[in-house]
Amino acid sequence: MAAMMTSRTLGDLLMRRLRPSTHLDLNFSLRPLSSSAQDEASRAASSEVPDHNYESLRVTAAQKHILHVQINRPEKRNAMNRAFWSEMVECFNKIAQDADCRAVVISGAGKMFTSGIDLVDMASDLLQPKGDDVARISWYLRKLISTCQETFSVIEKCPKPVIAAVHGGCIGGGMDLITACDIRYCAQDAFFQVKEVDVGLAADVGTLQRLPRVIGNQSLVNELAFTARKMMADEALNCGLVSRVFPDKDVMLDAAFALAAEISSKSPVAVQGSKINLLYSRDHSVADGLNFMTSWNMGMLQTDDIMKSVQAAMEKKKLKDVTFSKL
């Protein structure tokens, strides 16, 4: 009887909020949502995205609503040159405004994810900074470092979930990049290295700030930062840096795109709102996070996506078959 009343109540609510032309068969009952998107996801033939033309990156439409961003300097082990630092900002600012995109996979072309900063290309900026005296040189370096920090902060600010898919080495700036991502997968051959101490500096564009929050182990973070030792895939999984390890790059990418497909089948209002609130709560008290959530959802709960999702459940449809409006 209670289940029947629940079904009728939801049905009445749906009939009030859906357009009059919408027909709903109330004989269907609620059921748990399926997670079969992963089973059905496959890596479709990628196509270049017209308004993403870069020297250091390749951006393709991997599947519907999913973009694949590759660090694309395989001949240089995907070292981060001058172009990379500005192009990442341009790329993810565009993605943030792309209403068709609901999830992003970022990977490295060739044999490794990235070898970190391209010291040859960046040498003049780092070793011969502009300025007439200490104050002006310091001011220049401050601006340079802040600009480089934005290269990875822009990933965190992007409301679309970003999945890092790591194979081979993830060195130096690679750690800054992946710790700004929302989810991290890796292949069995992956290793992770906070390399900066070996070249005479403290990591300054995000690793020291984000890695402790990602793995929750200050002792291990200190060890990695002070020694520059390699962390292999199994250790990265055990400490929480990555959530899954796969036999090789191809299997890992298939899994990353399947995950992105699962995410992109959900309401973009729900997914992007979840990312924004998770990040806010990470950096604020529980009370502040709850207050922010209250303000957020007093507007977002009015979305039609809730009714569409509930209707799909009642009609035993998969969410991937539901058309959610662009966001």
Catalytic residue among 11, 173, 206, 273: 173
Contact between residue 188 and residue 166 where contact means Cβ atoms under 8 Å apart? no
Give me the phi and psi of 307, to 5 degrees please: -65, -40
Among this protein's residues, is 137 annotated catalytic?
Answer: no
Q: Give the separation between CA 102 and CA 61, rounded to whole angstroms.
A: 11
With contact defined as beta carbons under 8 Å apart, do 28 and 14 qualify?
no
Q: Is 75 one of the catalytic residues? A: no
CA–CA gap between residue 172 and residue 294 (Å, rounded):
39
The 8 Å CB, 24+ separation contacts for 281-290 are 282/213
Measured between alpha carbons, how far is 286 from 303 in angstroms, rounded to an integer? 25
Name the pairing type of β-strands 57-63 and 47-48.
antiparallel
Please pick, among 106, 117, 163, 178, the residue that the annotation labels catalytic: 117
CB burial of 86-118 (b: ≥16 within 10 Å; e: otherwise) equals bbbbebbebbeebeebbbbbbbbbbebbbbbbb
Residues whose CB is less than 8 angstroms from the CB of residue 214 and which lie 6 or more positions away in sequence, other chains included = 179, 240, 241
Q: Considering only CA atoms, which of 257, 261, 164 is closest in space to residue 210? A: 164
* Cα–Cα distance for residue pair 117/145, rounded to 1 Å: 13
Catalytic-residue membership of 204: yes
Choosing from 87, 98, 176, 182, the catalytic residue is 176
Q: Which residue has the tokens 């890796």?
A: 186
Q: Kindly give the interhelix angle for 2-17 and 305-314, rounded to the nearest 10 degrees.
A: 140
Among 118, 182, 196, 262, the one annotated catalytic: 196
Of the candidates 125, 150, 204, 304, the residue annotated as catalytic is: 204
Question: Which positions are annotated as active-site residues?
Answer: 117, 173, 176, 196, 204
